[in-house]
Amino acid sequence: MNEAGQLRWLQAVRDILDRSHLGTPQDLAGSVNAAVAQLGLRTRIWLVDYEQTALWPLPEPGRGTPEPIPVDGTLPGRVFARVASMPADNDGRRWWVPMVDGTDRMGVVEFEAPDGPVADVPDLVRHCELIAGLTGHLIATVTHRGDHLHRVRRTQPMSTAAELLWRLLPPLTSSSERVVMSAVLQPCYEVGGDGFDYALDGTTAQIVVLDAAGRGLRAGLACAVALAAIRAARRAGRGLSDQARMADAALFEQFPDTRFATAVLAELDVEAGRLRYINAGHPPPLLLRGGRFVHELDRGRRLPLGIADASVQVAEEMLEPDDRLLLYTDGVTEARTATGDRFGRNRLADLVERHETAGLPAPETLRRLAHAVIRHQPGTPADDATLMLVHWSSPAALTTVPKAGQQHDNGSRA
């Protein structure tokens, strides 16, 4: 691309950013479109809904709003699932590009060249990924300025507990150079007592999955209290045992009527692969090695959070490169069919093994697992189901990044 061409793309990026300062969530789709018009392009932004089953178009004034597109069995869905751009036709006029915030999958952006193929841009898809990436970041920041983007992503109203919880959680997926962390929560509009957290700082990954006893808003509040106590302790530099003790104290103080939460608290040294963990009455995480379920991490046991336990001993496990750790709440394994058939741990391990073979990015493996759990039980799920996958692998981290961007990373990893 010549210098004038480069400047036009720079100008488009600048226009999008300039407009974002005073923009409301409704303005975003129009601003991106206006900015790329000078490049001979047109965009449509599609957001994934909370249940991750369909992509929903952001409405734009003066432009019809198409029907939502299912994630399963469609090209845009595949772009979303694989985090990989794909052409929509053979003559280079339309592309679908993944839209992520960091590595958190937000949806896809549809690019179109209405006046014919854009000629002098050899790495056009990479440029489109730049625009889509910027849009993804902006969506993450402007979402909380208004309700518009929240509404687009919902197919039904949220319960108060779910509204509370979603605001507390970190992005569903975050990768670093060394590790992928991804999670999924169902039923997404009614989730109450389940929660997860992580922190990627330097060479340490901190991991929490928890399940507060009870249902509805009371369970959601207990989950919020426990999560906040764990975070506060962690951010004050306290270790795993102290984090659990802070959660004990906070739950005991706020819920003297015995509100407890089961949880796994873990920290992974992403350089050495040393995992330290405690398990407060929670289903033990599964360790997968070479794509196969190896064993459960069944040590480090203590009483559930909220019930003081002086005897806690932090357990240790050495991971091997490419190991995966699957954490889950009992709503996954306890999901039952009408005839009482439990989803169970073995089915869960089988499914993860199968998706491993398909080479899917971690968030896509989890999306499919969560849907399998939902499909397993008729009607409204009896309990929250949370899954979290930690994949200690640099190549796996790259599968969560839009593909064209990778080729321009430093050459050693491409």
Partner 1 sequence: MIEPILTVATAAPAPGVTVLSPAGEIDHDSHHVLGEAAETALRQGGERLVIDLTEVTFCDSGGLSLFVGLHKRTTAVDGELRLACPQPQVLAVLHATNLDRLLVVHDTVADAVRAASSRPDPAP
Size of the site for partner 1 (CB under 8 A): 23
- Calpha distance 167→164 (Å, rounded): 6
Q: How far is the CB of 232 from partner 1 (least distance, A)?
A: 24
Nearer to partner 1, 231 or 302 (CB): 302
By CB neighbour count within 10 A (0-12 exposed, 13-18 middle, 19+ buried), where does 232 fall?
middle
d(CA 284, CA 414): 35
Handedness of CA 360, 348, 326, 219 (dihedral sign): positive
Let me know: does 337 contact 347? Beta carbons within 8 Å: no
Binding of partner 1 by 300 (CB under 8 A): no
DSSP letter, residue 377: S
Residues 234-263 that bind partner 1 (CB under 8 A): 257-260, 262
CB 275 within 8 A of CB 263: no
User: Using CA of residue 210, residue 215, residue 217, residue 219, what is the dihedral sign?
Assistant: negative
Please answer whether residues 312 and 304 qualify as being in contact, where contact means their C-beta atoms are separated by less than 8 angstroms: no
Q: Does 211 bind partner 1 (CB under 8 A)?
A: yes
Q: Residue 397 in contact with residue 176, Cβ under 8 Å?
A: yes
Tokens of 266: 């873990």
Q: Which of 158, 169, 232, 303 binds partner 1 (CB under 8 A)?
A: 303
Q: Which is nearer to partner 1, 11 or 258 (CB)?
A: 258
Near partner 1 in 315-334, by CB under 8 A: 330, 334
Choice from 8, 93, 150, 215 touching partner 1 (CB under 8 A): 215
Tokens 């920290």, residue? 267
Q: Shortest distance, CB of residue 188 to partner 1, whole angstroms?
A: 20
**Which residue in 16, 149, 275, 280 binds partner 1 (CB under 8 A)?**
280
The reply to whether 301 sits near partner 1 by the rule CB under 8 A is yes
> Cα Rg for the chain, rounded, in angstroms?
22
Please give the C-alpha separations between residue 355 and each of 43, 146, 335, 369, in angstroms, as whole numbers: 32, 37, 20, 9
CB closer to partner 1, 164 vs 303: 303
Tokens of 229: 């106590």
Nearest to 208 by CA among 142, 145, 270, 264: 264
CA–CA dist 214, 193 (Å, integer): 7
399 binds partner 1 (CB under 8 A): no
Indicate which single residue of 133, 283, 285, 381 sits in contact with partner 1 (rule: CB under 8 A).
Answer: 283
Smallest separation, CB 326 to partner 1 (Å): 16
Q: Coil, helix or strand for 69?
A: strand
Tell me if 4 contacts partner 1 by CB under 8 A.
no
Q: Is 137 in the site for partner 1 (CB under 8 A)?
A: no
Question: Which range, of 51-59, 113-121, 228-236, 279-287, touches partner 1 by CB under 8 A?
Answer: 279-287
Contact, 281 vs 346, CB < 8 A? no
Contact range with partner 1 by CB under 8 A, out of 7-15, 33-41, 211-219, 402-410: 211-219
CB of 215 to partner 1, least distance (A): 5
The total number of residues written for the chain in this structure: 414
Name the one range near partner 1 by CB under 8 A: 90-98, 164-172, 194-202, 275-283.
Answer: 275-283
Interface with partner 1 (CB under 8 A), residue from 51, 110, 129, 383: 383
Q: Which of 133, 195, 281, 381 binds partner 1 (CB under 8 A)?
A: 281
Q: Which residues bind partner 1 (CB under 8 A)?
A: 193, 211, 213-215, 257-260, 262, 280-283, 301-304, 307, 330, 334, 338, 383
